[in-house]
Amino acid sequence: MKILITGAAGFIGFSLAKRLLDRGDTVVGIDNLNDYYPVALKRARLAEIQSPAFRFVEMDIADRKALPELFAAEKFDCVVNLAAQAGVRYSIENPWAYVDSNLVGFANILECCRHYPVGHLVYASSSSVYGGNEKVPFSEDDKVDNPVSLYAATKKADELMASCYNKLYGIPATGLRFFTVYGPWGRPDMSPMLFARAISAGEPIKVFNNGDMMRDFTYIDDIVEGVVRVIDRAPARHEVYNIGCSNPVKLMDFISEIENALGRRAEKIMLPMQPGDVYQTYADTSKLERDFGYRPGVTLHEGIGKFIEWYRSDKNPLR
């Protein structure tokens, strides 16, 4: 297949591109290489993709001239939209970045899929759509009409837009609600990288809500496996799936795993909950397992070990 990956220099996009190329697909990757976090990491990821079947184009998904031209020229079989302005907390202070990328950009993707038909549109939603949901585990059947951040609201809007375009124009679309993803080449603004850097440097780490939080941490290889399975089977209509580990971990236990892997103890600064954050995330992945045979296989201990091995290696450009 010829597959377009947007956000190809991002954590999940880069990892997915490598997997698809390994199995013989042709991949076109686009990314605007913005400076939300160090561009050096994004360029280093792209440099790791060594394949004649991969082509990278620096482009913003909100570009209403360049993106349709790319669709017209390439005639994609499948589009995986992973480009987005990420970050729950950042959205509170920088709302327009989220409107431009997550709403205007995604509308542009949908319009391109409408005018230059593709076999399947797979797009990134987020566990953030569940807001402060107290019922666990989080199910796709739960109401998600009470977002606690603009980021979450844009992801819910993406789901509604994709559903609408499916009904109006028959675009086969699948939304994936990603739960906290970690592993080698991860984002430096996320807790695994923040904790590893601070602990390694002997600096204190910030622990919010006094450590009383739980997250459904999911290793990158399990995420990629799930996405690949979804790519290969387009739905007749719009569908949304949770994709996570379905095994929430206490934040303090997560920190302990990083401490053990590094062989150093962390100095912790206990702080209150941040605006836009939630107490817990917990994925019910039974629908994804039923329809695609998805079962995450990497334990937290294994995943943290692999992450720290990469973090300490020469491949980490931010080390």
Q: What is the pLDDT of residues 79-108, one digit of tens each?
A: 999 999 988 778 888 999 999 999 999 999
Supply the pLDDT for residue 133: 87
pLDDT in tens, 18-55: 999 999 999 999 999 999 999 999 999 999 999 999 99
- Determine contact, residues 84/13, Cβ cutoff 8 Å: no
The residues with which 26 forms a beta bridge, in sequence order, are: 2
What amino acid positions are annotated as catalytic residues?
151
Q: What is the pLDDT of residue 12?
A: 99
Q: What are phi and psi of 311, to 5 degrees?
A: -55, -35
2-179+220-244+282-296 has which CATH code?
A: 3.40.50.720
> Rounded to whole angstroms, what are the CA distances from 20 to 14, 82, 122, 177, 226?
10, 15, 14, 20, 12
Model confidence at 299, in pLDDT bands (50, 70, 90)? very high
pLDDT (average), residues 3-12: 99
Average pLDDT over residues 49-63: 98
The Cα 4–Cα 17 span in angstroms is 9
Averaged pLDDT of the chain: 96
pTM (2 d.p.): 0.95
Over residues 116-175, the pLDDT tens digits come to 999 999 999 999 999 988 899 999 999 999 998 999 999 999 999 999 999 999 999 999
Beta bridge partners of 208: 271
The pLDDT, as a whole number, for residue 276 is 77
245: region left, alpha or beta (phi > 0 left; psi from -120 to 50 alpha): alpha
What digits encode the pLDDT tens for the residues 223-275? 999 999 999 998 778 999 999 999 999 999 999 999 999 999 999 999 999 88
Taking only the tens place, the pLDDT of each residue in 159-206 is: 999 999 999 999 999 999 999 999 999 999 999 999 999 999 999 999
Domain range summary for the chain, segments of one domain joined by + = 2-179+220-244+282-296
